[in-house]
Amino acid sequence: MQKLAPTATALILAAALLAPPVGAQGTPSITILSPKDRTTVAGSQLVIQTTVKNFALDPVAIGTAPKAGEGHWHLYVDGKLAGLSADGVISIPNDAYPTLTAGSHVIKVDLHNNNHTSVEGAKGDQITVRVAKTLSAMAMGGHPGVKFLWPTDGATVPAHTIVRVSVTGLKLDPVAVGTAPKAGEGHWHLYVDGKLAGLSASSVADATLTPGSHVLKVSLHNNDHTPVAGASSSEITVHVK
């Protein structure tokens, strides 16, 4: 049997000590994909689109006890909480941050555990954008309900689709998600083919769809995820090539 030289043996041992354990993940991180840093934003909304690595986003666990490796993310504008999400997008202005003034703003995102504490060692992201004109959220009274603005029924959509909705008769409160129900406040759920695909306290959510036809549904929910009694929901069919 051939013996290894002492140097080779030492190198093999060092490599084994430096190798990550089987199944170990990298550092949890969140990165802002859009808008880009130092850009000017126009239009009626600012939609923050992100990507998350080495961390599981769990909408129904928001507000529960922390569990390693899962949670959600928070959005801050100039240091003030402007929303949270367990998918890839948040829109501003919203009920948590109703007015985004014209001028420069610092947008920051970071990962949080189920109980809203920061994820230790996780990497966040930050950009600066210029808003062309002041954007304000309009309070929508009336009967509680949610309906699709985009996509429309029968539309052909990309595999990664950002859903936009209009909500009436309910205050969308991100920090109350997972707490006891309170009349007049809550959030909405996005379902794909009957399965929960996202949760939002703004006007957008996203989903990744496989080729073919899919049924999308949105519905209003109380802080504790129970359905809002008597609220109207919306359902459409979309197609992915």
SS3 142: coil
Examine the pLDDT at 177 and tell me if it is beyond 70.
Answer: yes
Secondary structure E strands in 39-159: 40-41, 46-53, 56-57, 70-77, 80-85, 89-92, 99-100, 103-113, 125-131, 135-136, 145-150
pLDDT digits (tens, 9 = 90+) for 88-101: 999 999 999 999 99
The pLDDT of residue 138 is 81
Q: pLDDT exceeding 90 applies to what percent of the chain?
A: 87
The pLDDT of residue 180 is 96
The pLDDT of residue 21 is 44
pLDDT digits (tens, 9 = 90+) for 5-46: 544 444 333 433 444 443 446 999 999 999 999 999 999 999
Examine the pLDDT at 4 and tell me if it is beyond 70.
Answer: no
Q: What is the CATH number of domain 29-136?
A: 2.60.40.10
pLDDT digits (tens, 9 = 90+) for 113-168: 999 999 999 999 999 999 999 999 987 789 999 999 999 999 999 999 999 999 99
The pLDDT of residue 140 is 79
Burial bucket for residue 239 (CB in 10 Å: 0-12, 13-18, 19+): middle
- Give domain limits for the chain: 29-136, 145-240
pLDDT digits (tens, 9 = 90+) for 49-74: 999 999 999 999 999 999 999 999 99
Examine the pLDDT at 103 and tell me if it is beyond 80.
Answer: yes
The pLDDT of residue 20 is 43
Q: What is the CATH number of domain 145-240?
A: 2.60.40.10
Q: Residue 18 and residue 231: Cα distance in Å, rounded?
A: 56
The pLDDT of residue 15 is 39
Examine the pLDDT at 204 and tell me if it is beyond 60.
Answer: yes
Q: Residue 98 and residue 91: Cα distance in Å, rounded?
A: 11
In this structure, are residues 67 and 93 in contact, taking their beta carbons and an 8 Å threshold? Answer: no
Q: Residue 173 and residue 200: Cα distance in Å, rounded?
A: 9
Average pLDDT, the chain: 91
Identify which of 119, 124, 92, 84 has the alpha carbon closest to the alpha carbon of residue 108. 124
Same fold, 29-136 and 145-240: yes
